[in-house]
Amino acid sequence: MTNKRVLITGAAGFLGSHLCDRFIKEGFHVIGMDNLLTGNIRNIEHLFPLKQFEYYHHDVSKFVHVPGELDYILHFASPASPIDYLKMPIQTLKVGSLGTHNLLGLAKEKKARILVASTSEVYGDPNVHPQPEEYWGNVNPVGPRGVYDEAKRFMESITMAYHNFHGVDTRIIRIFNTYGPRMRLDDGRALPAFMSQALTGQDLTVFGDGSQTRSFCYVDDLVEGIYRLLMSDYHLPVNIGNPAEISLLQFAEEIIALTGTKQKIIFQPLPKDDPKQRKPDITKAKQLLGWEPKVDRKDGLKITFEYFKQALGK
């Protein structure tokens, strides 16, 4: 057991709740914070009886105060799927800007190390493939996805400014597509959409011709990468994701095979500024953290499918 205290924002979300579990397991005292805009309290209910867990219902876009000492902060609060940030554009911009500013201020005051959750979306619709951390991206700041992309790009800038100007101990992770239990059924991203469509007898919707690619990382692998980055001494951005690339059409076919459903695949027009390719270059994560994904997509999808079946009462 350790007496170290960690604040995790977005604690009731998909990634935040898995991080709470991991830090409890590592013996930390965990303070979870969420305003439940897109998170679900059920994801962390099992932690409520524990002495080493406490929960604050709070919007980090407003001033953040946590009494007592604080060793680490993980900033994971944000709408993260297109369906959410198109519905809540202002909140998305605020949590990435004001929220990050508030938490960096808290880190400075408490002399805590802070890790901020950035995203592969900072690369936009990339002209470089796979995407290394040195690539500056191809983002449309006034397009519909700009509210998320630019919030995260600002998050990285202000984090570096606090590091360079105030000497705050910072870490920046760029997260690529991740999946696993506790994803929301109505999340709008490819995997939950395909699985809930397959389980409810609907045809699977693929946007465009389905040739656009994604790389899917299982949540346990991602959490391991986050933990290693937090404990490392590297302050520049690091990609964490699974470089096993697959087209969305192939992915839809994999889901149909896994679920044993008879639905067909239908095609819809491609959303504006939808990235055509997405694959992390994880050279840095391998070299600096000794990290690479371990869970095979076939195994990860089986576990996730069981979760979705249960969630839908199937």
Q: Active-site positions?
A: 148
CA distances in angstroms from 277 to 153, 166, 174, 227, 265, listed in the order given: 19, 37, 16, 27, 21
Q: How many helices (H) and strands (E) does the chain have?
A: 9, 13
Residue 138: DSSP 8-state: B
Q: Which tokens belong to 271?
A: 């959303």
